Structures are given as C-alpha cells and as structure tokens.
Structure 1
C-alpha cells in the first residue's frame, strides 16, 4: 500500500520523467505512481517542452544523454527562463565519475542519481526535495501575511484621509478595511458597487469581483489594474476601479495570501486634484506633477507614457523621483499618499468629514 507524500486529500504531485530507454521510463513511472505521485513520461526534451506549456510539474527527473537536446541543455534553458526556473530538477546518468557529477551540480541540478537507478534513493531524494520546497513556500506565505498585516496597520490612517472610497481587500476580495468615504458611499442611493450588512461589514459587489480584468489581475503577478464600470441602480454614474497590490507578488507561489488596495473614483470628479497642495507638499516639478496626477487618475505606466508622449525610461525616472520625495516604496503606497493630499479637501462628502 502506497503512502501519499502530501496527505490523502492533497493532489498528487506531478513528476515529469524524461528518459529515452522505454523499459526504464516505464519502471520510473510505475515506482513514482506507487509512491503516490502523478508521473508523466516522455522520451525526449522536445516532447517535455511541449508538455510544460500545459502543466507545471512539482519536479523533473531527466536523463543526461538523450536524442536531440541533452538533459543538461534542457535544464539550462529552464534555469534561465521566467516561469519554471524554480522547479526542482534531478539528473539521471550512467556516468558516475566525480567530474560528471560536479558538472551536473554546477549546471544547476538539485539532485544527481547514477544508473542503475536505486529506487529507494530516488524516492527519498524526491520526497526530501519536495518537502524542502514546501517549507520554503510556507515561509514565503508567512512572510507575505506578516507584511500584509503590517502594511494594513500603517495604511488605515492614511486611507481614512482620502475623500473617496478606499478599501483594503484580501486575495478573495474580502474587505479587511474600509475608510470613512467607503461607508459614506454605501449610503449613497445611486451607488451599487458596495453593500453593507447589518453588522456594518462592507463588501464589493459581483460586478467588480467577477470582472474578467480583475480575475486576471488576481491570478497574475502584476502591480496594478484599472477598470471602468457603471452603477446599475439609481442615476447613471460611471466609476473607475483601481486595484494596487500591497507588498511583493509572485506568480510562482501556488497559494496566495496577499492584500490589495481598491480605490473607487467617480469619473466625473477624478480630475479635481489639488495640484497646488501636491506641488507644495512634495516639492514636485511640473513634469512630476503631471505624473502624480495621472497616477491618481489610475493610469498604468504604459498609459502614462502614451499620455505624456515619453519613453518608459523617462516615466520610470519621474516615478523614482516621486518615490523618493514621498518616501514610499511601492505604487499602491505612492498613490495612496498622493491621494491623501490631492483629495483631502476636494469634493469631500460632509458625512465623511466627521
């Protein structure tokens, strides 16, 4: 009876096996399947690369000497790529001398086994490596959670000073914090973007949560997204929904524990910025003032380049200056800081000032 390496209810980790000897490939897959893994076997690198466009394995076990590209070449390409560079890679070889083993290690192999395959050693090595990956991922999630909680504490005071709706949401878009303007917006009969229950808990409506651009943003590793949406009840009003990531994002981490700032802006009022206050507070140049205003309006970096008719490098230069002058480090933090000054006394609802 096999023991599932990740627990009885967890999905079986996929192990990609690349071996051109049919009998050995069959035996590898059988041993891995019996041990609770989901093996996928192919005889060459070309077919392995085709598979990697459809699945992400927990680990790759690959022969060194293969027809076409070698296992070393395959591993080198993965290590220099963007999406699969962290996947553990085990090399199999019939060459047992020390130099060949060192060559494989230097090339980036996590493990190196010599044929004939010792299956007990193979399974022990895979289990150990995947356990190590699991510990690193758990540590990363804990760090993200701690960072998120620290940022939330830092931001509540800043966001409460913004005169239009600002919320901090988790990865499922559950609201962790809502500023005073958000509660004011919930009492607005013309708004259908937010709801509040009897316990005073605010929630984003389905038009935002299920929007395809929002879903794509949450599944990726981008820093910001902006969408325009209309209220469905009351007088017609057009809103801009801006989402910015708090803290570090990583597409590699399979389980997300992230936080996002969500700004809801009435498009009819979004250009009413107190430019003079911004310029005075942060000693901004005219061009920096333009960039700051576009950030408040929710434009992406690419849109700012097009609006200002400048290169990405020039926009990045002005953004660096804004980060320095506002003493912020991430785009969400910068936007919130700019909004807290530019919108503090502009169009502030009376109910949100108390």
Structure 2
C-alpha cells in the first residue's frame, strides 16, 4: 500500500484529501504546516507528498528545498497545491524539483491523475535503474571472472568452481605456481610479447595439469590450480610434470626463453576450509620454494609453518597483550578526491612484543581469530579508536570518521551491537563518526545473521563499509542484501591502473556502487596514474601510501594542522 503525506494548513482541504485517498486505498497522513510535514516525513516515510505552497512557519517551497537537500528524501515525488497562477511561482517550484502542480479548486480526477502519473513515472525510472544494474552486474561478472590476457579463469571464477568441488566432500589440493624471475624476463619483452609469453605458459599448464584440475591466473606470473583425487605419490608426480613442462623453451619475439617455476601446495580440508586461507597457505609454500633457489616444490605442513611451542607462546602472549599495554593503533588517512581534504582514518592494530619486537598483523590476527583473543583485542581497538576520535574533536580538529575493522568472530558474538552502543556512550563519540568495516569473506558465512547484526548497528547511526571488496568469493547479491554505506575497492584492482582489465573492473564497481547509493573508496593508491584514473572514473575517496602511510596520533594531528593552514 502506497503512503501519501498531505501538508495543508486549511483543515477542510486537508481532511477532504485524506478521506478521498483513504477510499482509493492509500495509507495517508496529514500535517498542518511545513515544519510538521518535515517531521512526518521522518516518521511516516511517504512514497509521495502533496503540499500547499503558502503555509505558516514553513511554506511549501521551504519543505521541498529541505527534502531535495537530503539524499534519503530527494527522490520522493512532490505535488504542489496552489491557489496562485503566477508563472513565477510555477517556475520557482519546478526549479526546486516539484513534479506537478494542482491549482485550487481541483477535482477528484485531477488529484488521482496526478498521483497515478507520478507513481507510473517513478516505476518506470525504477525499472530502468534495475535494468542498468543488471547490465552492470553482467559486465562486471564478465570482466571479473576471465583473465583478459590468458583467457583462463581468474580467482573469482575459480572460487565458484571451488564451492562446487568442496560440496562433493572430496579432498582438494591448491597448487600455487610462480614463475621464477618472471618480472625480469618480461621486462626484456614488449608488453605484447610479455602477454604472448603468458598465453604460452597458460597453454602448457592446461596441457600438463590433470584433466580434473581447475586453472586460473592470480596475477603477474602466478597461477593457481585446484586439483582433486590426488594421493601424495600422484601429487608429487604431477608437480614434477608441471615443473618439467615449464623448463621447456618458450619462443617469443624471436627469443628463446627458459623459465623455471616454484610451486607450493596445500590441501583442503586438512590445511584450511576456506579458499582464501587455503590459497594463502599454498602461496606461502611457493615463497618458501623460491627462497630455496627456485625450480622447487614445497608442501604445506602445519607442524613446520609454526612450531608448536612458538604457537603456544604466541597464543599465551596474545591473551595478555591488551592488559600488558603491548598493542597500539596507527591511523591511515582517507581523503576526499573532490576536495583533497582528510575526512576519515582507518584504525590499524599493531603488536610490539617485549621480546620478539613488532609482530605483523598477518601473523597474530588469524591466530587471535582462532583462539578467541580477537574478542578482547577487537573491543580494545574500538574503545581506543573511538576515544581518540573524540579527543581530536575536543582539540578542535576537523571531525574525522573513524574506521574500525570487525572480524567474523566478533560478528558472531551475541553482544556486538551492545558493545558498539556501550563504546559510543563511554567515549562520547557521535555515532555518525564511527564506520564499521567488514571484509567480503565474512559475508559468505551465515549471511542472514550478518545482515541482521549490521542492520542493528546501522540503526544506532553508525555507517557500515565492505572492506577489501573483490578479493573474496561472495555473490554480488550481497551488495543489495546487506546494509552497506561504503564500498572499499581492494588494492589488487587499483594496482597498475589504468591497466585495461583492472580499469574495466573498477569502472564497473564504481557504477554499481553509484546505482546502489554507496560511497566508494579506493585502497592502496600509490601512484599518480592510479590517482588520475580514479578521479576521472568518479571514485569518491582514496586511502594509500600516495597520500599517507599509517600514522601515530601525533602525526595525524600534525597532518590536520598543516591541512588547516
């Protein structure tokens, strides 16, 4: 049932319209002046507004101007009622964005015709937007599932294949193949020659890999295979065959090119149940194989990756890190591409162990996620970041939105919404200056629960961002189902812009975000070329070393002071 708000100071006219529209099956509400009408817009959420022009306190033009200035109400169809026939009055209303005028006295037919016409036009626009969105999704899928150089699947297409294979409950092996010295070798070729070499390598991998395998190109000279039904002996033979195939000469631009490959493997589900973790383990082994001289193969072994005593020591230290004051935050600025102003920061947690020294988040965050320490660490990060944001406000600095990352385990805890509310209350940070960031990989596990929790957080006035977008394996449908305010485009797509394939993907992501009413921020921007492309493409914000590395509190203050002056 469509909702219609009537703003009219003449009681008889207002009541007559309310009765008429109730009879016609509309849900209606009336307001006696413009100020009361704006209050009703917030509580009633109308689908269409009919308003008198001349009213006390706030006239119809003032109401329409306020609505059009607010993105959440700017598109509500608006019909003016007026006893004036002055062309200037009509032009003023149309300039503000009025959809129609009804001149008093009007008939029942006049009112209904105008309403139905507005709804028909709105429906037509909605259909058009849906068609554009479907087209963008189709284009994005095409660009984001096939590697433009080799024609192989990329990690997104492989992710879908992985889900199907994993559903069969068969053991799988992720094989990461990295070409040794590929950067130096490709630098001696023209860009077209380097692409031709990659095409030949892809063909050789497809010829050599087991027929049951799935192959994709990750980036540069790195490929990923997902193989099924391979025992230890057969796996070793297959890896030897792959390395032997790569050793055979390639001929490009009248040059004979000799390559070797470093290979790393990890098994599903023994070594990881999620594809991103599985691939990470295989890549780590590929790096280990390369560190041993290349042309080698290493298999993931949990016992070797982190010795048990080291793991126990780190787990124990993690649980004490907050109380011991060993954690600290750095803040990476986020910049508006239009104004150049710093408008926010992302809080990044660091750990300085008293004996080991600085420990990479890549090492301790996954461990904290596994053993539950992430709950205490996450609460400390949120408290510290929000308190710091409030201190900056009190010091008279420009107000910055504080981005805080939330892990999968935190999202599953029952009191996360209460925690956010408590932190805001204790620190005094207004809710609109907190931005909760969740990674795309979180969405594929219990999406219904995630949507509900994020929706309740948004109801507090906190914004929600999807972080590292494009690196995970979720469906594009999550963008529509989840209550996101901002889409953060991952560094892997920004790197190398305006590279043709990445440029197409970034443009499609920006267009889709625009259709869904989401802000956009590009992560990991490091070059002027990347910045120029993002500005031209209409990206809203950037974050990366081109503008600033993560900073300590005092450095943020100094940066803001310099910006002010």
TM-score (norm: length of structure 1):
0.53
| 2:128 counterpart of 1:139 | yes
Relative distance call for 1:245 and 1:321 in structure 2 (3 A) is farther
Relative distance call for 1:54 and 1:129 in structure 2 (3 A) is same
Relative distance call for 1:88 and 1:282 in structure 2 (3 A) is closer
> Alpha-carbon deviations, 1:264-314, whole Å to 9, x = none?
xxxxxx9xx9xxxx7xx7799xxxxxxxxxxxxxxx95997xxxxxxxxxx
Unaligned 5+ residue runs, structure 1?
1-11, 169-177, 195-203, 228-239, 264-269, 285-299, 305-314, 332-354
The structure with the larger Rg is 2
> Alpha-carbon deviations, 1:158-195, whole Å to 9, x = none?
49444998569xxxxxxxxx99679779942465558x
Residue of structure 2 aligned with 1:116, choices 102, 105, 108: 105
| 2:79 counterpart of 1:90 | yes
In the other structure, the counterpart of 2:450 is 211
| 2:272 counterpart of 1:188 | no
Residue of structure 2 aligned with 1:41, choices 30, 47, 58: 30
In the other structure, the counterpart of 2:91 is 102
In the other structure, the counterpart of 1:79 is 68
Relative distance call for 1:303 and 1:160 in structure 2 (3 A) is closer
| 2:321 counterpart of 1:321 | no
Higher relative contact order at CA 8 Å, sep ≥6: structure 1 or structure 2? 1
Q: SS of 1:90's equivalent?
A: strand
Is the 8 Å Cα contact of residues 244 and 262 (structure 1) preserved in structure 2? no
Report how far residue 322 of structure 1 moved.
Answer: 2.2
Relative distance call for 1:325 and 1:63 in structure 2 (3 A) is closer
Residue of structure 2 aligned with 1:226, choices 467, 479, 486: 467
CA–CA distance in structure 2, aligned partners of residues 183 and 66 of structure 1: 70
RMSD: 5.2
Q: SS of 2:79's equivalent?
A: strand
Pairing 1:55-66 to 2, within 5 Å after superposition: 55-66=44-55
CA–CA distance in structure 2, aligned partners of residues 262 and 140 of structure 1: 22
Relative distance call for 1:84 and 1:150 in structure 2 (3 A) is same
> Alpha-carbon deviations, 1:44-70, whole Å to 9, x = none?
222222222234321110011112010
CA–CA distance in structure 2, aligned partners of residues 323 and 62 of structure 1: 45
> Alpha-carbon deviations, 1:302-336, whole Å to 9, x = none?
997xxxxxxxxxx6xx577326679x9598xxxxx
Is the 8 Å Cα contact of residues 145 and 155 (structure 2) preserved in structure 1? no
Report how far residue 214 of structure 1 moved.
Answer: 8.1
CA–CA distance in structure 1, aligned partners of residues 80 and 267 of structure 2: 59
Is the 8 Å Cα contact of residues 44 and 67 (structure 1) preserved in structure 2? yes
Farther-moved stretch of structure 1 (50-59 vs 13-22): 50-59
Q: SS of 2:446's equivalent?
A: helix
Is the 8 Å Cα contact of residues 19 and 66 (structure 1) preserved in structure 2? yes
> Alpha-carbon deviations, 1:223-268, whole Å to 9, x = none?
95139xxxxxxxxxxxx98589979x8x9xx9x9xxx9999xxxxx
Relative distance call for 1:325 and 1:117 in structure 2 (3 A) is closer
CA–CA distance in structure 2, aligned partners of residues 99 and 245 of structure 1: 51
Is the 8 Å Cα contact of residues 167 and 179 (structure 1) preserved in structure 2? no
TM-score (norm: length of structure 2):
0.35
In the other structure, the counterpart of 2:21 is 32
Q: Which is richer in helix?
A: 2
